[in-house]
Amino acid sequence: MRLALMIEGQEGVSWADWLALAAACEEHGVEALFRSDHYLSGTDPGRAALDAWAVLPALAARTERIELGTLVSPVTFRPAAVLANASATADEISGGRVSLGMGAGWMEAEHTAFGFPFPPMTERVRLLAEQIEAVRGFWGDGPRPHLVVGGSGRSGTVDPAARFADEYNTVMATPAECAERREKLARAGEREGREPIPLSLMTGCAIGRDEDEARERIRRRLERAGQAHADPDEYRATRGDAAILGTVEEAAERLRAYAAAGVERVMLQHLDHRDLEMVALIGRELAPSVA
C-alpha cells in the first residue's frame, strides 16, 4: 500500500504553507503531495485559494523527490490544450514527477462565483471523456505526466480511464465499494484490451500516536471543515468505515482492508494543513506499517 498526502488548496494554504508541506513530505518519506483544484472554499469564502497549476510548477522547482499532482482538475474551467501544456510544463520542471488528475467538476457555488459554466452532470461527464482523449493527443508520444481520472465508479468515468489513463481515483468510499469499483475497472480494461489500471482512493485522515492525540486531530479536522460543534467520537463512529481515523494502529488496519479490496494507494486528505507533525507521523510510522 502506497500513501500520499492530499491538501485542499482552496482552504487558505499560502505559498509558505505549501513549501513547508512539501519539505515535510520529502523529509519524512511521504511519496507524493496532491492538491485539489478549486478557487473557492467550501466552508469559508474568505480563505485564499492559490491556483493549482501555478503552485505545482513552483513546487516542482523547489523539490527533488516527491510526486506532485491535482485531485482533480475539472473539465469545466481547465480547457484541454491549456491543461495539457501546463501539466507537461510542470512535469518537465520536476524531471517527470507530475500527475494530472482530471474530473468532471462538482462545486456549483464556485462556478457561479467565478462565472464558469456548470452544465448538468451528464454533459460534464461527456466533456470529461472528450477532454481526457484531447489531453493525451496534445501530449503526443513523448514524456508526459502520469494521468489520473477521478470518479465514483460509473461507466462515464471508468470507460475513458480504462482507455487512456494510468490510474483511477475514487473518493470517500468503503473497502466494499472500492472492491466493486475495482471489478468495474478490470472489466473496462478487458474491453479496451489493456491490463487493469491501478485503483487509488482519496479519503479523510486524522490520526494520532494515542487515543488523545487522535481525538484532538479529529476535532481539529471537524473545525477546519466547518463542523466545530460535531462530536469527534460520533464522527469517528459514523465515518470510520470510509476514512482513516484513530490511532496509527487503527489506521494501518483500515488501510490493509483497502489493500485487500484492490486499492493500490491512498491519498490522505489532511485538512489541518499546518499540522506538520501528522505529515511526519504518516511518513515515519503509518507508511512503513502498511508497506
- 121-136 residue pLDDT tens: 999 999 999 999 999 9
CATH number of 2-290: 3.20.20.30
Distance set, CA 9 to CA 6, 113, 250 (Å): 9, 17, 27
- How does strand 32-35 pair with strand 67-70? parallel
H or E element, residue 84: helix 80-94
- Surface-to-core class of residue 26, CB atoms within 10 Å of its CB (0-12 exposed, 13-18 middle, 19+ buried): middle
Residue 169 above 90 pLDDT? yes
**Domain residue spans of the chain:** 2-290
Q: Do 104 and 125 form a contact (C-beta atoms < 8 A)? A: yes
d(C-alpha 241, C-alpha 173), whole Å? 8
Residue 104 above 90 pLDDT? yes
pTM: 0.97
- Surface-to-core class of residue 211, CB atoms within 10 Å of its CB (0-12 exposed, 13-18 middle, 19+ buried): exposed
At residue 240, the pLDDT reads: 83
Beta-strand ranges (E) seen in 104-196 are 146-150, 167-171
| Torsion sign over Cα 26, 31, 37, 40 | negative
Distance set, CA 45 to CA 39, 129, 139, 186 (Å): 9, 31, 35, 40
Q: Hey, what's the cell of 13?
A: 494554504
| Mean of the per-residue pLDDT values of the chain | 97
| Residue 65: band (very low, low, confident or very high) from pLDDT cuts 50, 70, 90 | very high
CB burial readout 59-95, b (16+ within 10 A) else e: bbeebeebbbbbbbbbbbbbebeebbebbbbbbebbe
d(C-alpha 92, C-alpha 14), whole Å? 24
DSSP letters, 33-56, are EEE---SS-SS-TTS----HHHHH
Mean pLDDT of 224-233: 92
pLDDT single digits (tens) 17-51: 999 999 999 999 999 999 999 999 988 989 999 99
Computed on alpha carbons and rounded to an integer, the radius of gyration of the chain in Å comes to 18
Q: Do 161 and 197 form a contact (C-beta atoms < 8 A)? A: yes
